[in-house]
Amino acid sequence: MWKTVLLLVAAAFLAPAPAQALPKVEVPSTRSPVDKSYRKMLQGMELFARQRALAPQATLRFRLLPRQPGTSMQDIRLKIVGDTASLAVPIAADNSFTLVRDEKLWREDAAVLANRKTLSMTWRAEVRSPDVPPGMRRLGDLRLECLVGMAAGLVSNNAHLFAWLDELLRSPERVCGDPNGNYLFFTERPLFAITLQHGERRATLPFQALYAGNPPAAELPYCDCQMLLERSYFAPLWDLSWPDDTLLSFEYMDDPPPASGAAPRDRNAALAAFGPPQTSLRFDSGREVWLYQPKPEAGEHVLLFGPDGATLKARQRAPALRSF
């Protein structure tokens, strides 16, 4: 009997429908919001309070950054939404904000929602100590940023970046204290070089610490750096030989080149002088960087070219005593 019923039902679905005008159905357009867990973000704020020794005088804010091309960062609206309550979150001109603790929204496991599509933006903690020279960052601040960002669940779609870790091991301490943690930071402008300095000690970060480690194009959709590749870098959070008061100074792509920096005039001249680079990376801006490093333990020679192929900058880095 059931076989007969099933056959009749199947026949009804497979039979051609009579020709007739179908009514139009208006489906309202929807979009997935960018959302974060309110509880987790508050837990990140609590971790900031517990770990203040890394940055005793610092303040904490959260910040929204563009992740995908075409994302408008103007007129962003942010709110905390629970089952029965909601709360608007004021956003500063630089798209940074803070959160207040609301017990009802905490109990309702609320979400922090922005009026943008999922994965169109990336979220970061921003820890800033006073008296840091303009344009520099303090390493202890960055260490605390990483801890807060991981505890707050801010890094989205990070399966590829953290594939080396088991889910149970993705603690802030493991990610922020391991050379393979791969927690990305972003600058305000496209980067060319980063120098660490503490007292008389100086060191230039290797090429692989910039531009998200030069990921394959197929992996960019899985990276918070998708639109900010030129501005992304890793910091040696795990290297305790650099104390928290270590400062990072940045040389940007659009900074004037040093007067003594002799370099080939363009890409063709570089090819004639040095041959093909070991690594090259072209950005959406049209700029391109080439790395000459015949062996991993050898020094680095990095060239920066403009969209027209002209050489903009060059830098040398001596062989490192230890890998980054």
User: Which amino acid is it at 281?
Assistant: L
Q: What mean pLDDT value characterizes the chain? A: 84
d(CA 228, CA 226): 6
111 and 217 assigned to the same domain: yes
Question: Does residue 246 sit in the same domain as residue 276?
Answer: no
Span 262-287, pLDDT tens digits:
789 999 999 999 999 999 999 999 99
Orientation angle between helical segments 139-151 and 38-50, nearest 10 degrees = 150
Tell me, yes or no, whether 235 and 272 share the same domain: no
- Which residues neighbour 1 within 8 Å (Cβ) at sequence distance 6 or greater? none
Question: What is the Cα Rg of the chain in Å?
Answer: 25
In a domain, 227, yes or no: yes
Tens-digit pLDDT profile for residues 238-263: 999 999 999 999 999 999 877 656 78
Is 289 inside a domain boundary?
Answer: yes
Number of domains in the chain: 2
Whether 23 is in a domain gets the answer: no
Residues 190 and 61 in one domain: yes
41 pLDDT tier (thresholds 50, 70, 90): very high
Burial 93-102 (b: 16+ CB within 10 A, else e): eebebebeeb
Question: What does the angle CA 263 – CA 268 – CA 272 come to, to the nearest 5 degrees?
Answer: 80
Q: How many CB atoms lie within 10 A of CB 45?
A: 19
- Inside any domain, residue 26: no
Signed CA dihedral, 315, 318, 323, 324: sign only:
negative
All residues at 6 or more sequence positions from 26 whose CB lies less than 8 Å from its CB, including other chains: none
Distance CA 202, CA 246 (A): 10
Q: Are 250 and 187 in contact (CB under 8 A)?
A: yes
Per-residue pLDDT of 148-207, as tens digits, reads 999 999 886 544 444 444 444 467 888 899 888 889 999 999 999 999 999 999 999 999
- Structural domain includes residue 313: yes
In a domain, 242, yes or no: yes
- Please give the pLDDT value at position 224: 86
In a domain, 196, yes or no: yes
- Tell which of 221, 252, 283 closes a domain: 252
Residues 126 and 229 in one domain: yes
Q: Are residues 168 and 239 in the same domain?
A: yes
Print the domain residue range for 286. 267-317
Residues 305 and 173 in one domain: no
pTM: 0.84
Residue 133 burial by Cβ neighbours in a 10 Å radius (0-12, 13-18, 19+): exposed
Specify if 156 maps to a domain: yes
Q: Are 82 and 207 in the same domain?
A: yes
Q: What is the DSSP string of 73-106?
A: -SS--EEEE-SS-EEEE---TTSEE-----HHHH
- Residues 187 and 274 placed together within one structural domain of the fold: no
Same domain (yes/no): 291, 220:
no
